[in-house]
Amino acid sequence: MKSALVLGAGKGIGLALTKNILLKDEFKTVIASHRDSSELVKLSEKFSEKIKLVKITASDEKSFNTLDLELSKLNSLDLCINSIGTLHDDNTRPERQISEVTSDSISWAIKVNTTPTLLVAKKIKELFKKSNNPIFASISAKVGSISDNATGGWYSYRISKAALNMAIKNLSIEFKRVNKNGLVVALHPGTTITDLSKPFLKGASKKYTLHSSDDTAANLMTVLFNLDPVKDSGHLISWNGNKIDP
């Protein structure tokens, strides 16, 4: 029987991934992190045998210690997916030009989009070592690819996702040393209708396939379980299984 951990499980892609994993019989334990999600709490009431909720806020390193108790009950961890991410909030929109960039906007994006992957990696390394075929994935974005950048803008988001892709590359090297069967990847989920993307979707259906969170979760799970730890670890992989150049 397998165990999983999902960060950012309160809504959007993270919530859909959590539902998808809970419905798989082979997963006996699912730890899910949120900040204050009534939807996740409702889901947890339905799957109370399997799911454990913890509260994690990206900017609060100590909040990652809420994982310690639940992780200490496991013999190994088979799947860990970080879906925490931000693109905008009430006061901030992605920058269109350099004049809109501030030190705070860059540090905030790094804090939410890059750092949680590193902080959770510290917590799971020992359990990753003990699983037969562990998977550690973080939801990144194609816009974090330097070679794919044709339009510029979105400085903080692009920079924080490019940094996340480097964090994943580093972790893939370090985690390979403790478990040669382990897979460590960054994932591009495809354009998915969520609170994060909604303000930017006008006209998007003419350019991209638009996915529901449930479809994206199903796509990502299929991709993850068909990747090759040797060939694919350290890479940014798209929802359709294609590798995206860094």
Ligand X SMILES: NC(=O)c1ccc[n+]([C@@H]2O[C@H](COP(=O)([O-])OP(=O)(O)OC[C@H]3O[C@@H](n4cnc5c(N)ncnc54)[C@H](OP(=O)(O)O)[C@@H]3O)[C@@H](O)[C@H]2O)c1
Residues that bind ligand X (CB under 6 A): 8, 10-14, 34-35, 37, 56-59, 83-86, 112, 139, 141, 189, 191-192, 194-197
Return the number of the residue (71 or 139) whose C-beta is nearest ligand X: 139
Read out DSSP for 191-236?
SB-STTTGGG-TTHHHHS--B-HHHHHHHHHHHHTT--HHHHTTSE
Question: Degrees (nearest 5) of the Cα angle 105, 34, 205?
Answer: 65
CB nearer ligand X, residue 53 or residue 179: 53
Least separation in angstroms between CB 122 and ligand X: 17
Q: Cβ closer to ligand X: 13 or 53?
A: 13
Contacts of 156 (CB under 8 A, 6+ apart): 94, 95, 101, 105, 106, 108, 109
- Tell the smallest beta-carbon distance from residue 152 to ligand X (Å): 17
Q: Which is nearer to ligand X, 14 or 229 (CB)?
A: 14
Taking the least distance from each CB to ligand X, the nearer of 208 and 225 is 208
* Contact indicator for 57, 63 with CB cutoff of 8 Å: yes
Map residue 185 onto helix, strand or coil: strand
Q: In sequence order, what are the residues at sequence separation of 6 or more whose Cβ sits closer than 8 angstroms to the Cβ of residue 31?
A: 3, 4, 5, 6, 51, 52, 53, 54, 67, 70, 71
Query: Residue 125 Cβ, how far from ligand X at the closest point, in Å?
Result: 21
* Residue 105: CB atoms within 10 Å: 20
CB of residue 230 vs ligand X: minimum separation in angstroms? 26
Least separation in angstroms between residue 12's CB and ligand X is 2
Residues 197, 214 contacting (CB under 8 angstroms): no
- Of 112 and 135, which has the nearer Cβ to ligand X? 112
For residue 48, the SS3 value is coil
Rounded least distance, CB 130 to ligand X, Å: 27
Contact 156/105 with Cβ under 8 angstroms?
yes
